[in-house]
């Protein structure tokens, strides 16, 4: 059975938000990959790489310690384009069902006094962090999510046909 999604995303129409990237079935379980898109691709500047790195540490630590959600989290990490993050959770929830979790996670960055794991023992590039600029992005995204709580566009990806490369392979970016 071909489970590869037949659509991809029209990046010219994306607004920041929380979107289902794909749902995979692993044995008896569903696993959902979400795109947590922090900036508008190719219109706004991508997230500063050091701030992105700090947000990776801060939000991963938050999600994996949240008493209600920690057992659901499989993965949190940055997109290579630095416009957002991938979040992989057990199950198959609508993006609106994880809105409160992500709002809390990004709001929590404001209170951080340091970046967890920013040391040579715990991180592969421990000097490449910027907590203050991470707070700026987190504050901006949390305010945006709060303002757009009732805007369906922050949960629905603009879809397009999946790109097929010249040698006939289906294109994926994650």
* Site residues for Zn ion per CB under 5 A: 123
Nearer to Zn ion, 2 or 113 (CB): 113
- Check: CB of residue 47 under 8 Å from CB of residue 83: yes
Non-local (6+) Cβ contacts of 28 within 8 A are none
Question: Least distance to Zn ion from the beta carbon of 53, Å?
Answer: 6
Question: Least distance to Zn ion from the beta carbon of 72, Å?
Answer: 23
Question: Least distance to Zn ion from the beta carbon of 126, Å?
Answer: 7
Nearer to Zn ion, 103 or 123 (CB): 123
Q: How many C-beta atoms lie closer than 10 Å to residue 60's C-beta? A: 19
Residue sitting closest to Zn ion (CB): 123
Nearer to Zn ion, 17 or 78 (CB): 78
For 71, the token pair is 């057992």
């Amino acid at each position: 059975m071909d489970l590869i999604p037949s659509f991809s995303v029209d990046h010219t129409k994306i607004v920041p938000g929380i979107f289902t990237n794909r749902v995979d079935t692993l044995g008896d379980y569903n696993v959902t990959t979400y795109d947590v898109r922090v900036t508008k691709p190719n219109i706004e500047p991508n997230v500063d790489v050091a701030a992105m790195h700090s947000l990776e540490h801060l939000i991963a630590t938050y999600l994996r310690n949240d008493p209600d959600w920690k057992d659901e989290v499989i993965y949190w990490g940055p997109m290579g384009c630095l416009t957002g993050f991938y979040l992989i959770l057990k199950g198959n929830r609508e993006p609106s069902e994880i809105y409160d979790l992500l709002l809390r996670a990004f709001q929590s960055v404001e209170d951080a006094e340091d970046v967890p794991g920013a040391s040579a023992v715990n991180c592969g590039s421990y000097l490449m962090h910027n907590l203050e600029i991470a707070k700026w992005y987190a504050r901006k995204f949390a305010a945006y999510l709060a303002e757009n709580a009732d805007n369906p566009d922050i949960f629905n990806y603009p879809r397009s046909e999946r790109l097929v490369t010249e040698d006939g392979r289906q294109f994926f970016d994650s």
